[in-house]
Every structure is written in C-alpha cells, then in structure tokens.
Amino acid sequence: MSIKIALAGNPNSGKTTMFNDLTGSNQYVGNWPGVTVEKKEGKLKGHKDVIITDLPGIYSLSPYTPEEIVSRNYLINEKPDAIINIVDGTNIERNLYLTTQLTEMGIPVVIALNMIDIVRKKGDNIDIKKLSKKFGCDVIETSALKGTGSKEAVSKAIALAEQKVKTTPQHKFSSSVEDSLSKIASYIENSISPQLLRWYSIKLFERDQKVLEQLSLDENIRTEIENIIAECEKQLDDDSESIITNERYKYIVDAIKDCYVRKNTSRETVSDKIDKIVTNRLLAFPIFAAVIFLVYFISVTTVGTWATDWVNDVLFGQIIPPAVEGFLESVNCAGWLSSLIIDGIIGGVGAVLGFLPQMMVLFLCLSILEDCGYMARIAFIMDRVFRKFGLSGKSFIPIIIGTGCGVPGVMASRTIESEEDRKLTIMTTTFIPCSAKLPIISLIAGAFFPGSIWVAPSVYFIGIAAIICSGIILKKTKALSSSPAPFVMELPAYHLPGIKNVAFQIWDKSKSFIKKAGTIIFLASGLVWFLSNFNWQLQMVDAQDSILATLGGIVAPIFVPLGWGTWEASVATLTGLVAKENVVGTFGVLYGFHEVAEDGVEIWGSLQASFTALSAYSLLIFNLLCAPCFAAIGAIRREMKSAKWTFIAIGYQTILAYAASFCVYQLGMLFMGNGFNVFTAIAILVVIGFIYLLLRRPYNKDAKNSSTKKVGKAMLGGAKL
C-alpha cells in the first residue's frame, strides 16, 4: 500500500524546489478531478510506494481562490498519510499561520524549516526543540535550494505515517473563544470524526461558507451556532474571522519570542537594502526595463544567436541534411519520399529546433531571475502600474508565467479572486511573447534587422502595452467593470540561484519544446509539405500551383493592408494557430530550409524578397498579438468555462492584432514618404478610435474611482510597504 505525503506551504516558501529535489524525474502532471487547477505528483526517488503531492501554494485554509479550495479539499477529503509543511525560516511568523491550521486537521505534520542557510548567514538562531514543542510536531532544518534536509523531512513523515501518529495542536485561544468553540463542537460532535472536530468548529466560528454547505446543518442548529458567534463577537468587539486571525498571530508571536533569536535587532536585512533600490518608486521601472533588455539581448542578439547559428548552419546545414540525403540515395529512395523527409520534416522541424539554443538561454536567464527572488519583485513593481489601469496586481503573475508558455500563464489566472479580473487577465495574458514566439522574433530580427538590439525588447514591451491598454479599455465595459482585487504577496529573501534547480527548470521547459517539435510540428511540417507539393489532382507541382497556394490565395487579400498579403505569409500565420513555432517551420518548408542551412543566409534572402523591413515588423506584431495556439485556446476555454467568453477573448485578440499591425504598416508607409491613401485615412481613424476608448468614461463611475485606490499590500522582508 502506498504512502501519500502532501507538501503544503506559502507561495515562494521553496515548496516546489523541495518537490523537484524529492521526486527528480519521477513526476507526472495533470488536473485535479473536476477542476483545471494543475496537479503535480511524483514518486519519491528510490521509493515506488511513496507518492509526493505538491499542493498549490496557499497562505491559509480559509479559501478564496480555486487553488486554495483544491488544497483544503485534498487535505480534508483525500486525507494524506502525512503533511510536510514547508516554512520559510526568513519569514517565519507569516508562514506559521498556515502551520497552526494544518496541525488542527489530525494528520501527522512535519515542519520543514526551509532556507535555514539564509537564517544562519544572517546570524540568527532558531531553537527547533522549543519550536517543535510549541507547535506539537517535529521540525527539520532544510535548505531545498541546496538539497539539504529534504530527505530527513520526508523520512520523518514516512515514519509518522507508518506509525499513524496524529499531530495534536498545542495552541489555545482566549477563554471566551475556546468556550464558544466548545459549544459549537457539542452541536456537531456526532457527525464529525474526533480528529477534525476542532477544525470544523473553528471553521463554523469563522462562518466558512464551504463548510456550512458541506455539513448541511439543521436550521435550528445553525441559528444556535450563529447566536454563539454573535455573543463572542460582542464580547471581543470584532468579527469572528478577524478574532481567529488575531488569536493565531498572538500565539505565533509569543512562540517566536521563545524560539527565535535575531542578531540584527533592527530586522533590516541585505534583501531589504537591495529592495530600497530595485523597488524604489523612481528606479524600479528603469531597472526592470534594463533587466528585460539585457535578458533578450543575451538570448536573441549575442550568446543565443551564436549557438543558434551553429545549429542552423552546421548541424541542420552541413551535417544532417547531406547525411540523410546520402543515405536515401544509397537505398534508392523515391523522389517524393526523399523530398518529404528532407524538405518537409527536416526543413520544418529543423527550422524550429534551430532556435532551441536561443530559447534555452532565455530559459536560463528567466530561471535565474525567478530563483534569486527578483521575479517576485517584478510582480510587486508592476502592481503599481496595473492597479492604476484597473487590473489586479495578481494579473502580472500569469503574465510572467506566460513568458514561458501561454497555457500555464492562462491557468495561473485562477489565483485572482475577482471573476471580472480573472476574465480580463485570461484575455490579455497571451499578448506577452511566450517561448514559442521567440523563433518568430529571431527570424524577423535576423533577416531584416541584423545586429539590432531593439527589436526583441520592443516586442516584449509592445506585449505589455497591449495588456495595459486592454485593461483600460475592457475595464470600462459593463461586463468587466469591478474594483481590482487586493494584492498580497510574500517577497522571498534574495539568494544565489541553485545550479540544480535552474538546470531542472531549463530542462523541463526545453523538454516540452522538443516534445512539441517531435509531435505537433512534425505532423504540421509533413502536412505543409504535402499541401505545398501537390495540386488538387494529387500531382506533384511547384509550390505556386499547389493546394496550399490556392488556399493561401483565398486568405491572402485579408492581409494585404497589413503589408504581407502573400499566400506564403498567410499560410504560415494560419499554421501558427496549431503551434506558434509552426510559423518558422512553415517558412522553412516553403523556402527550402535544408538548402538555407548550407550557408545560413538563403532563408533570409527569400524573406527579404517577399517583405520589406516594415511589412516584416507588421507580420511580427500580428503573430505576437493575435489568437494564441490551439493549446492556449483550450486553456482559455477551460478557465472561462464558457464558449461565449472564449470566442469573445479570441475575437478581441485577433481584432486588436489586426488593428495594431494595420496602423503600424500604414502609418509607417506615410512617415517613410509613400504618400497618403484611403488606407492611411482609415489607420488615422483607427488610432483616434483607440484613443477614444482609452479616454472615455467607464461604465460605472464608482468602479473607476475605487479601482485607482491602492488597496493592495505586500510583505517585504517582514515589513509592510
């Protein structure tokens, strides 16, 4: 019989790092039954019968978001054999709030006191024996980033699970609260297991709606319980939920006084000093812009390009195609099959895989920023901007995740409490360039802007501008008008990135990209080859006379005002709906990528013959902002839970992309001295209309006024900003 161990903790406490350390490659990802929240499970390395479940990061078992509900339901209904509670030792007071709730559930709990290396580096000392006694469970010092203590924590959890030792909460509340809880317990003790009796009593005292619905209490009993709560509220002059919160923190503060000795009594850490600069109201945005510029400069212009050039010119130019072609000739392979393999499969898949080095460098940079703690600061910094434009600060978290892939970015929107803010975030998250769009950026930048250092960063900031402008416009509509949700977030202490953890993240993201290239792009490249080499009578013909040229010719006129109304560009854009990397793969097949790789410049020459620099940039903008790939569209459908809202989201994205690309090309032509025409006039009208939508009065004036107030708070090194 397998042992189930749950990892529970606050966001940024090191929970996922510990999960990766414990499970290695023995992981499998799916969705929780009935919901779209991601479920990560894995087998403990060396133990086939021990299942580790990485629960979504939560601050409390009083749920407000789908992720918090999932974590609580799992602990209550699935009843894991043990819980490892990851506690950030550098922010122990906040993290122990969840601990007080976990110990009330009657499940064996082991506290993994994480980031202990940072605690010691600061000269602080935590007495784990006293801490263990205060909270009634074993405490193991860990540093998940360095891989120390994790095995000891899971070994202790396994031992407790096998012995079926239940954790007994040691914290007590004030007499009036305890008296109220005892009275409530007397009403439900016959229908609740003894080990969960206190937990349910507290939740009823807090008027937890989920628990009230679950228990289905008699109306008379609910009235009696409400009277008990109201009497206690009157005595303590506060609402019940705040009473419990205050009682928990009072116990935690008293416990910490006996267990935690700080060397720096002022409590200003190195992270605090750094944050005075990187989160400064004047310096934060220039620093953020410089960091993003540097990331893309390294990834697209320098190191990433050097590696990509080698893969394209040498690996897929001088090594693989000639070798495969020689082998096929030696076995007398049919001409059409040889063309399929070399022009179709190697041309299409190779065109995409050629950009893998750039993507790996990008993943490296982003993983370092995330692992050292700067990504959390970016979310905090952008909250100031987003809140002014009606968006929740939490909206930036899905956007940051979306730089890797739009699918998890869309799914991350579930952490936003407001339904309107969640829909708005889902509609705009995919505007940010994901890793699948990087090959398109690299191709256009290399072919039309060689040596330029502004193209890739400009695309990133266009994505952010599209999100902000969409927030302003859509927030003023009747369906999406609301006050932004408060933003509360833990900012972890700065630390050196762990080599093992960064390497794992790079491999995990790269593996997904390679898998897509070996499946979706492989099939798409083969289909593009077939359609571009055969006519409707299934005879091999030149590409200009093919099925694909016919279909592309039907669509192409739509894109003429955008500057790239060729059938090749139209087809490449449409195949990008399957996977954005297909845009490059399709060009590779249509322009004969295997020949290009021999000297590394022919695909650029083919593109330059079909596009100008302005029309190529217009193409880039459209593919950046238009409807995402099918996988992301599926994620939007699951998160929206509505076909209507899915079509609204896709329609808005496509219309915005077309309008932006149209205006860039037509106004660009005007500024370049190509005269004034009807399209120029339309572009000016579109810009005027866009400005009107930005400046017009919101649907609800009160919603506008409340949305501009700064109601969010962030915890920075234990101090409120």
**Residue 20 labeled ligand binder:** yes
Of 38, 40, 67, nearest to 414 by C-alpha is 67
Q: Cβ distance 434 to 403 under 8 Å?
A: yes
Distance CA 617, CA 457 (A): 13
Query: H or E segment at 20?
Result: helix 15-23
Q: Cβ distance 584 to 435 under 8 Å?
A: no
**Residue 11 labeled ligand binder:** yes
Q: Cβ distance 526 to 349 under 8 Å?
A: no
Which tokens go with 149? 């203590």
Q: What is the mean pLDDT of residues 284-301?
A: 78
**Residue 326 labeled ligand binder:** no
Q: What is the pLDDT of residues 569-621, one digit of tens each?
A: 888 888 787 777 778 777 766 765 544 332 234 466 677 777 888 998 999 99
Contacts of 455 (CB under 8 A, 6+ apart): 300, 441, 444, 445, 449, 617
Q: What is the pLDDT of residues 113-170, one digit of tens each?
A: 998 988 888 888 899 999 999 998 999 999 887 888 999 999 999 999 988 877 788 8
The dihedral formed by the CA atoms of 453, 455, 459 and 462, expressed in degrees to the nearest 10:
90
SS3 174: coil
More confident residue, 201 or 365: 201
Q: Cβ distance 378 to 278 under 8 Å?
A: no
Name the E strands within 172-316.
260-261
**Residue 446 labeled ligand binder:** no
**Residue 115 labeled ligand binder:** yes
Q: What is the pLDDT of residues 397-435, one digit of tens each?
A: 677 777 767 776 787 676 676 778 888 888 888 898 887
Distance CA 587, CA 65 (A): 43
Question: Does position 687 have pLDDT exceeding 90, yes or no?
Answer: yes
Q: What is the pLDDT of residues 178-234, one digit of tens each?
A: 999 999 999 988 888 888 888 889 999 988 888 888 888 888 898 999 999 999 999
Q: How far is CA 185 from the centre of its chain?
A: 41
| pLDDT of amino acid 483 | 61
**Residue 531 labeled ligand binder:** no
**Residue 56 labeled ligand binder:** yes
**Residue 717 labeled ligand binder:** no
Lookup result for tokens 């006379």: 545
Which tokens go with 516? 């897509």
Residue 540 main-chain phi, psi, to 5 deg: -70, 130
Lookup result for tokens 């139209």: 570
**Residue 24 labeled ligand binder:** yes
Of 3.10.180.10, 3.40.50.2300, 3.40.50.300, 3.40.190.10, the CATH number of 3-163 is: 3.40.50.300
Of 507, 608, 524, 541, nearest to 351 by C-alpha is 524
Residue 255 main-chain phi, psi, to 5 deg: -65, -40
- Residues forming beta bridges with residue 382, ordered by sequence position: none
Q: What is the pLDDT of residues 24-45, one digit of tens each?
A: 765 554 444 444 456 688 889 8
| pLDDT of amino acid 485 | 54
Question: Does position 717 have pLDDT exceeding 60, yes or no?
Answer: no
Residue 594, judged by CB atoms within 10 A of its CB (0-12, 13-18, 19+), counts as buried
The one-letter code for the residue type at 480 is: L
**Residue 116 labeled ligand binder:** yes
**Residue 9 labeled ligand binder:** yes
**Residue 35 labeled ligand binder:** yes
The one-letter code for the residue type at 522 is: F
Contacts 24+ apart (CB under 8 A), 460-463: 460/292, 460/296, 460/432, 460/433, 461/289, 461/292, 462/621, 462/624, 462/625, 462/660, 463/431, 463/432, 463/433, 463/624, 463/625
Residue 126 DSSP code: E
Q: Cβ distance 291 to 372 under 8 Å?
A: no
Name the E strands within 44-128.
50-54, 82-88, 109-114, 125-126
**Residue 12 labeled ligand binder:** yes
**Residue 298 labeled ligand binder:** no
**Residue 105 labeled ligand binder:** no
- How far the first Cα of the chain sits from its last, in Å, is 49
**Residue 10 labeled ligand binder:** yes
**Residue 312 labeled ligand binder:** no
| pLDDT of amino acid 305 | 63
**Residue 360 labeled ligand binder:** no
Question: Does position 685 have pLDDT exceeding 90, yes or no?
Answer: yes
| pLDDT of amino acid 538 | 77
What size, in residues, is the chain? 721
**Residue 302 labeled ligand binder:** no
Distance CA 526, CA 339 (A): 10
| pLDDT of amino acid 317 | 63
